[in-house]
Amino acid sequence: MSNSPTQIQLIQPDDWHLHIRDGEIMKDVLADTARQFARAIIMPNLKPPVTTVDLANAYRGRIEASLQSLGVTGFTPLMTLYLTDNTSAAEVRKAKAVGVAGFKLYPAGATTNSDAGVSDIKHCYAALEAMQEVGMPLLVHGEVTSADIDIFDREAVFIDQVLEPLRKDFPGLKIVFEHITTKQAAHYVRDAQTSGKNILAATITPQHLLMNRNAIFAGGIRPHNYCLPVLKREEHRIALLEAATSASPRFFLGTDSAPHAKGAKEAACGCAGCYSAFNALGLYAEAFESVGKLDKLEGFASFYGPDFYALPRNTKKITLVKQAQSIPAELPLGDATIVPLRAGETVAWSLA
Ligand code: DOR
Ligand code: ZN
């Protein structure tokens, strides 16, 4: 492939980290994702959270009804459960039996709807033991929550205080370090000695590949560029871009597209989350092109995720074209609207 192609073909990608919420607004956001991706890992941080197999089955039913109302076929939601201090080994086994894709660890208080999350990982050891045994992935929001740790350091401190001890205690547990944002996380995942293949991986969002923390404060406060973990310094963005384009199977696509209505973002205490689903693939293509690595996009977007989760790769192909797409200032979200990432600007690549 030349270094500056104007179109690229790839096996259809999947989104390995996605929020679609529930109720009326779900179909507005699902449509954007289903246009681009074949499958997505559906985050369980609803109100109340999806903590049991029964709740996940019910949620899957509502997602399928929503897809049907949109006339979408050929999109598969991959369900996850929300880990709590009380998750039992029996629930883990039950989840494995019905094809739940993973359990999500939210340290209590770390982010949106994480109040019911884990207060101390030690409370989860019976569940983690079972997860290790049956090959159930643990999806990790990797930030410590103590108020005395600077918000920009919370991910790096999490590695030392939580992740490394956890991996020592459960060397065979499959772990996805979700939406990594720092050089420390990228290097930790890259360099980790593991007990086998597909034991440790990380997802990376488009916003963390394209922006650094200046974007939150460019000319004034920019609530639509605020997500958690928060954007970091430029040196971290560069390390993430290096990891994503390195063709290491440990790094794959997860948008963390996280819809919040415009009013909930543009507020005195605005919610965390960037809505990237509208043209997520275009954003990733821009990032890869910026370092001349478009030829590495397919592995990151379409191969390493299913390989890690031991699912078949997709077979259908899609084409991305280098054609600027205008991103609307707002999109409908139920009775409200949402401001997508890059609103009012263009993205250099789009789906053919
Ligand atoms: O920015 C974020 N938004 N980070 C998260 O971890 C959660 C997400 C959400 O659900 O809104
Ligand atoms: Zn998320």
Q: Cα separation of 105 and 176, whole Å? A: 10
Confirm whether 233 is domain-assigned. yes
Domain assignment present for residue 308? The answer is: no
- In the block, tokens 């205690």 appear at 169
CA of 308 to the centre of ligand 2 (A): 18
Contact by Cβ (8 Å): 233, 213: yes
**Is 284 domain-assigned?**
no
Residue nearest atom 3 of ligand 1, based on CA coordinates? 273
> Does residue 149 lie within any of the structural domains?
yes
List alpha helices for 212-261, DSSP H: 234-244
Ligand nearest to the CA of 29: 1
Atom of ligand 1 nearest to the CA of 178: 6
Distance CA 347, CA 323 (A): 8
Active site residues per annotation:
256
| Atom number of ligand 1 nearest to Cα 43 | 10
The Å distance, Cα 17 to ligand 2 centre, comes to 6
Ligand 1 mutation pick, 15, 176, 227, 230, max ligand atoms within 8 A of CB: 227
Question: How remote is the CA of residue 112 from the centroid of ligand 1, in Å?
Answer: 5
Nearest CA to ligand 1 atom 4: 228
Asked whether 164 and 129 are in contact (CB, 8 A), the reply is no
Ligand 1 atom closest to 273 (CA): 1
The CATH number covering residue 28 comes to 3.20.20.140
Q: Hey, is 6 helix, strand or coil?
A: coil
Q: Give me 351's structure tokens.
A: 């789906």
Look at phi and psi of residue 299 and say left if phi exceeds 0, alpha if psi is from -120 to 50, else beta.
alpha
Q: Quote the pTM value.
A: 0.97
Within 10 Å of residue 119's Cβ, how many Cβ atoms?
Answer: 14
Q: How far apart are CA 352 and CA 319, in angstroms?
A: 5
Ligand 1, from 15, 43, 45, 114: best to mutate by most atoms within 8 Å of Cβ?
Answer: 45
pLDDT at site 3: 54
Does any domain span residue 338? no
Structural domain that includes position 75: 14-279
Neighbours of 220 (CB within 10 A): 5
Q: Using CB atoms within 10 A of its CB, is residue 48 exposed (0-12), middle (13-18) or buried (19+)? A: exposed
Q: Is residue 190 part of a domain?
A: yes
The domain total for the chain is 1
User: From CA 203, how far away is CA 250, in angstroms rounded?
Assistant: 8
User: Which residues line ligand 1 at a C-beta cut-off of 6 Å?
Assistant: 19, 45, 111-112, 141, 227-228, 258, 272-273
Q: 91 C-alpha vs ligand 1 centroid, how far in Å?
A: 25
Query: What's the pLDDT score for residue 1?
Result: 47
Has residue 295 been placed in a domain?
A: no
**Which residue's alpha carbon is at the smallest distance from atom 2 of ligand 1?**
273
DSSP labels, 155-218: HHHHIIIIIHHHHHH-TT--EEE-S--SHHHHHHHHH---SSTTSEEEEE-HHHHH--GGGGST
Query: pLDDT truncated to tens, each residue of the chain (352 aa)?
Result: 445 799 999 999 999 999 999 999 999 999 999 999 999 999 999 999 999 999 999 999 999 999 999 999 999 999 999 999 999 999 999 999 999 999 999 999 888 788 889 999 999 999 999 999 999 999 999 999 999 999 999 999 999 999 999 999 999 999 999 999 999 999 999 999 999 999 999 999 999 999 999 999 999 999 999 999 999 999 999 999 999 999 999 999 999 999 999 999 999 999 999 999 999 999 999 999 999 999 999 999 999 999 999 999 999 999 999 999 999 999 999 999 999 999 999 999 999 9
Q: Which amino acid is at 51?
A: T
Ligand 1: which of 181, 271, 339 to mutate, most ligand atoms within 8 Å of CB?
271
In the beta sheet, which residues pair with residue 252?
A: 203
The verdict on residue 332 lying in a domain is no
Measured in angstroms, how far is the CA atom of residue 8 from the centroid of ligand 1?
A: 31
